[in-house]
């Protein structure tokens, strides 16, 4: 009598569907991920327990570290308009090419006199550490400081193009001394910006 044989099943699973799903998700995440731009001024932000995500648009970032202040505003049309307004203030002419190149700069920190040189540089050269000296924060006589004008121009540009009030955030380095931070906040207060955000990283756990 022949024994009843248990049919041996293959252990191979059809992976096609799983593979499809995996790659679909992968594509989604790659497309939604925003590429992190290299920063010309790397800062180590202090930690806090606040859990409030920073909005993406209409918020200018002032990076403060090593005694320097860098300025950045998101949105290419806003950057172009900001540059035009600054050009009017300091009576400088920018070509279309320069405007386009400027609109791709995430954050910068040079006096307005050196702006054209920085625009002309290549991306990786521009972000070399120590190249950019920071935006001057001191006012000269009756004239407000350059940083003041940059913030004001960006606010005008945001209002013109998006019809919302621009918000300001400060991204400071942990070791930065308070007087420098105070200088920046008092520039903001001069413009009646009394509410702003401090960018912090999330504290991993309670000590």
Partner 1 sequence: MAELDTSGGGKNKGGKVRSKKQSTRVDLTAMVDLAFLLITFFMLTTTLAKPQAMDMAMPDKDKTEQQELTVADNRTMTILLGANNRLEWYMGLVDKPMTPPQVDNYGRNGIRKALIENSKKVIAATGDPKKGLIVLIKPSDQSNYRNFVDILDEMKVSNIQQYAIVDISDPDIALLKRDGLLK
User: Which residues of this protein are in contact with partner 1, per CB under 8 A?
Assistant: 8-13, 15-16, 18-19, 22-23, 25-26, 29-30, 32-34, 36, 45-46, 48-55, 64, 169, 171-179, 181-182, 185-186, 188-190, 192, 194-203, 206-207
CA-to-CA separations, 79 to 30, 42, 86, 104, in angstroms, rounded:
26, 21, 10, 8
Q: Shortest approach of partner 1 to residue 58 CB, angstroms?
A: 13
Q: Shortest approach of partner 1 to residue 15 CB, angstroms?
A: 4
User: Quick one: 122 or 195, whose CB is closer to partner 1?
Assistant: 195
User: Quick one: 24 or 120, whose CB is closer to partner 1?
Assistant: 24
What is the three-class DSSP state of 102? helix
| b (16+ CB within 10 A) / e for 174-199 | eebeeebbebbbebbeeeebeebbeb
CB-side neighbour CA atoms (13 Å) of 87: 16
Residue 103, Cβ density class (10 Å: 0-12 exposed, 13-18 middle, ≥19 buried): middle
Q: Shortest approach of partner 1 to residue 204 CB, angstroms?
A: 11
> Please, which residues have CB within 8 angstroms of residue 45's CB and are 6 or more apart in sequence?
171, 172, 173, 174, 199, 200, 201
User: Quick one: 51 or 122, whose CB is closer to partner 1?
Assistant: 51
User: Quick one: 32 or 91, whose CB is closer to partner 1?
Assistant: 32
Q: Shortest approach of partner 1 to residue 16 CB, angstroms?
A: 7
Q: Shortest approach of partner 1 to residue 148 CB, angstroms?
A: 13
């Amino acid at each position: 009598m022949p024994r009843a044989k248990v049919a041996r099943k293959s252990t191979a699973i059809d992976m096609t569907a799983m593979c499809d799903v995996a790659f679909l998700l992968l594509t989604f995440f790659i497309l939604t991920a925003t590429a992190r731009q290299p920063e010309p001024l790397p800062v180590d932000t202090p930690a806090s327990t606040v859990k409030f995500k920073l909005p993406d648009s209409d918020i200018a970032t002032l990076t403060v570290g090593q005694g320097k202040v860098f300025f950045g505003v998101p949105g290419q049309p806003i950057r172009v308009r900001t540059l035009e307004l600054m050009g009017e203030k300091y009576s400088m002419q920018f070509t279309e090419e320069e405007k386009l190149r400027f609109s791709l700069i995430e954050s910068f920190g040079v006096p307005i006199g050196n702006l054209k040189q920085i625009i002309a540089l290549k991306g990786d050269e521009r972000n070399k550490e120590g190249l950019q000296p920071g935006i001057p924060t001191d006012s000269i006589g009756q004239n407000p400081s350059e940083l003041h004008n940059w913030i004001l121009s960006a606010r005008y540009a945001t209002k013109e193009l998006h019809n919302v009030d621009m918000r300001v955030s400060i991204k400071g380095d942990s070791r930065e001394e308070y007087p420098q931070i105070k200088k920046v906040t008092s520039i903001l207060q001069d413009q009646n910006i009394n509410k702003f955000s401090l960018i912090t990283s999330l504290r991993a756990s309670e000590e």
